Structure 1
Amino acid sequence: MVGMQLNPATIRLQPALDDLVRLVDAVESFAAEHGLRPADAHALTLAAEELFANTVKHSQPPAGYVEFTLGLADGVVTAVYIDDGAPFDPTARAAPDTTLPAELRPIGGLGIYFIQRTMQSFAYERLDGRNVLRFTRKLA
């Protein structure tokens, strides 16, 4: 992939909450290996967790697999999240109104909003029957 290091880290998972630990471990290992600041590691971990949890909870019919890749080039981490579930574009959702009190806001949408606010880019495409989400985070 363009802009990724020569040896990006990729993990393939079953879309089941039992595999969430493997995903988090993979992101944390990548962060430690590349000396990422705790804030960057935390943001990437939360983004991966959110996307994975959404796939597990909401994909109908259920996705058969999830693939997550992290790469680092020129001070930018690029992440690619792929699942083979039903088409779903999280970037098409309206941003939640965070000015409303929590009890007046509809449930859901804050995780995607978090990703959009903490990453420099967040893009979706449907490619070869798969959901493909790409996001980047510029390191300080």
Structure 2
Amino acid sequence: MTAWDIKPQGVQGQLKVTGTHAGDLEKALTALVTTMSEAATAGGTAVPGTDASTPVQGPVPVGAAPLAQKATLGPVASALSQYLEQRESFLKSTAERIQAAVLGAAKATNEYVAGDLDAAKHAQDAARAVRLDLLQDAPGGRG
């Protein structure tokens, strides 16, 4: 890189906005999983009546409540579970890319302010490659 022209206050403002949106995304994903879990339970089973639960057997300590029966999950629960399993790696990589972008921008900006353009470039490269291990060692600046 031959020339840099970074406005640290602008970067800080954008990182705050990004952090807010990342928090909103986390809340939305948590709500998605909660709602899908509720839908899976409410979706019922493909078996009639009392066969829709599995009795839990085993010894219970004196004074403890009896073991609760587990509801048998049906095809809706299975489909929702498979849906989330198929998207798990995508959601995880999305979260890692967001984290790398935020950490890389913060670290590169701090290195730029400190006058270390080589370290700033390394932070940028680590963020581009989603190398969280390199960014988390000294997030936001000099270790």
Q: TM-score range by the shorter chain?
A: under 0.3
- Structure with the higher strand share, 1 or 2: 1
User: What is the TM-score of this pair, normalised by structure 2?
Assistant: 0.27
Q: Report the structure number with the largest CA radius of gyration.
A: 2
* Higher RCO (CA < 8 A, seq sep 6+): 1
